[in-house]
Structures are given as structure tokens and as C-alpha cells.
């Protein structure tokens, strides 16, 4: 993972020994990341030897890996859980990752997405879900194991598909975009949904599109993927072509859906999202 600042993140489980120097701390109060707020638009992740220097004492901490840019020693990264009732000092704030989506560098946002899921997993699996025995963190692997019954618990990942459906018309290519009731006013995006047990990714694509807008698709092809920590998804992108059917909205979830041309698009998702990458790919192919 290479960010705009030239850093490359290398994930690891085994923590370094003493004397690692300053590290980046991805500190969370519940699911809110503690950031430094010297700039109203841009925020930064604290970098120091110990968060106690900011008046924060983690309840639990987890090693994430390290950042390197090829010009100096690697900088290690930790996630940690802090008391949500603890007051933060001047120049600090705890904000949800959605509010930080365009304000953190892409590498640091990706690490924060990894960190919040590991913090939640570690908090939720302190005791065995089968026999209630306290669990133990395993070396060399991201898992907590029950010493009594042997049950191992890993960080949960929920796969979801997201698909750009296109259609050839007499007036040119069109892309299907929809408005979810939860979207900000005016925003449209491609269709997405969670994979069900026993379902292939391609079956999920076809089912979700049929359920949400009532059309059938063909030529489903893999596009790419993106971790999405809201709360613990892996977005798996596809493209597909319209086959047949008329748009019939699933009213409980979809407010509107239309076919759009590349030169007449509505408000779109932020550029960092795989949804936007799918739409931008459609636009590029129309030039």
C-alpha cells in the first residue's frame, strides 16, 4: 500500500522490541479515531513513543505493522482502545472515519480502517464465544484462541459486491446509477450488497441488482476490490451488461435509479471509493 506521501505500509503481527522510537498511534474511543487538529481541513495521526505523553492510556493495544519510504528507518504503527469517557487535550479530537474520509492521507486512512476493525475484534473476543474462558492472543497470527476448548476467533470480514451496469442504446452507452435513501441529498452511485452464505460473488451481483432495481444482467466481470471499514466490509467490484427488464425500485432501500450518459452524471461518491473508480472507468471508456 503506497500513499501520496511516499510511505508504503507493511502489515505485521509480531510487535518490535523495546526502543522502537516514535510510532504512529491509531487510537480509538469506541469507533472514533483520535487525531491532531492543527488544521481545520487536514488532520494527522499522533506520532510519539507513548500515548501517555498526550494524557492517553490505552486499555488494549495491537501492533499493525510499519511504514517505510526507503529513506530512513521504518516507523511502526499501533492501534489502541482508549476510555471513551476520557477528555482529550487541546488540539485533539475523536472523529468517525466517515468524517475523516477526505481529510487523512490515503495510506493513513487505509491503516485507520484496518485499525478500527482490529480494535473492535480484540474488544469483542476477550472471552470465548463457546465456553466463556478468557482468550489469549496468538503469536505470529491475528487470532485470539481459547485455552480451554481451542476455539480460534479471527477479525471478521464481510464481503460485499458492487457493480457498474452499462447498457448500449441508440444514443450511446449508459450507466445505471441509483440513490439509496441513506445517501446525502442528490448523490447517486452504483449498486452494492452483501454476499449471502452459500452464494458466489457473481450470484450476489445478479441477485442484488434484481432485488434493488428489477433488471437482469449478463457478462459479469471482476474489476477490483477495496477494504471498507463501515463496519468491516470488503467491497469487490464488478462490471456487467444489461440483459433485459425494466427498472422496478425496491422502495425500502432505493429512492431512485436511472440510466445516465457520461456527459450528464449526477452527484457522485468521493474519488477514493471503488464506486467512484467504477464510474470513472465508464466515463474514460466513452472518450
Which residues form the domain of 54?
A: 8-124
Note whether 195 and 268 are same-domain residues. Answer: yes
Which is it for the CA torsion 210, 215, 216, 221, positive or negative?
negative
Which of 99, 124, 149 is at the close of a domain? 124
Residue 132: inside a domain, yes or no?
no
- pLDDT 10s per residue in the chain (287 long)? 444 457 799 999 998 876 667 899 999 999 999 999 876 677 999 999 999 888 898 999 999 999 987 677 889 999 999 999 998 988 999 999 988 988 888 899 999 999 999 999 999 999 999 999 999 999 889 999 999 999 999 999 999 999 999 999 999 999 999 999 999 999 999 999 999 999 999 999 999 999 999 999 999 999 999 999 988 999 999 999 999 999 999 999 999 999 999 999 999 998 889 999 999 999 999 87
Domain membership of residue 148 (yes or no) is: no
In a shared domain, residues 16 and 99: yes
Point out the domain boundary residue: 69, 99, 124: 124
Q: Does 136 reside within a domain?
A: no
> Do 277 and 162 share a domain, yes or no?
yes
Number of domains in the chain: 2
Q: What's the CATH number where 78 sits?
A: 3.90.79.10
* Structural domain contains residue 22: yes
Last residue of a domain, one of 124, 139, 173: 124
In a domain, 173, yes or no: yes
Amino acid at each position: 500500500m503506497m500513499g501520496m506521501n511516499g510511505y508504503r505500509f507493511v502489515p505485521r503481527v509480531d510487535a518490535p522490541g523495546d526502543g522502537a522510537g516514535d510510532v504512529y498511534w491509531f487510537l480509538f474511543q469506541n469507533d472514533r479515531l483520535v487525531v491532531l487538529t492543527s488544521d481545520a481541513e487536514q488532520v494527522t495521526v499522533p506520532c510519539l513513543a507513548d500515548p501517555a505523553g498526550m494524557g492517553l492510556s490505552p486499555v488494549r493495544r495491537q501492533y499493525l505493522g510499519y511504514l517505510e519510504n526507503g529513506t530512513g528507518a521504518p516507523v511502526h504503527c499501533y492501534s489502541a482502545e482508549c476510555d471513551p469517557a476520557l477528555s482529550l487535550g487541546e488540539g485533539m479530537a475523536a472523529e468517525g472515519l466517515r468524517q475523516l474520509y477526505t481529510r487523512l492521507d490515503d495510506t493513513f486512512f487505509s491503516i485507520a480502517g484496518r485499525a478500527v476493525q482490529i480494535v473492535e475484534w480484540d474488544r469483542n473476543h476477550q472471552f470465548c464465544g463457546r465456553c466463556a474462558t478468557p482468550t489469549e492472543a496468538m503469536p505470529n497470527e491475528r487470532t485470539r484462541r481459547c485455552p480451554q476448548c481451542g476455539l480460534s476467533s479471527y477479525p471478521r470480514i464481510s464481503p460485499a459486491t458492487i457493480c457498474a451496469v452499462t447498457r448500449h442504446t441508440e444514443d450511446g452507452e449508459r450507466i445505471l446509477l441509483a440513490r439509496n435513501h441513506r445517501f446525502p441529498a442528490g448523490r447517486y452511485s452504483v449498486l452494492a450488497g452483501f454476499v449471502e452464505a452459500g452464494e458466489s460473488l457473481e450470484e450476489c451481483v445478479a441477485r442484488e441488482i434484481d432485488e434493488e432495481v428489477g433488471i437482469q444482467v449478463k457478462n459479469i466481470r471482476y474489476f477490483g476490490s477495496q477494504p471498507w471499514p463501515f463496519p468491516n466490509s470488503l467491497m469487490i467490484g464488478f462490471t456487467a451488461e444489461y440483459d433485459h427488464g425494466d427498472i422496478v425500485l425496491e422502495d425500502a432501500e432505493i429512492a431512485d435509479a436511472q440510466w445516465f450518459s457520461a456527459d450528464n452524471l449526477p452527484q457522485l461518491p468521493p474519488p477514493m471509493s471503488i464506486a467512484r473508480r467504477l464510474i470513472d472507468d465508464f466515463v474514460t471508456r466513452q472518450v
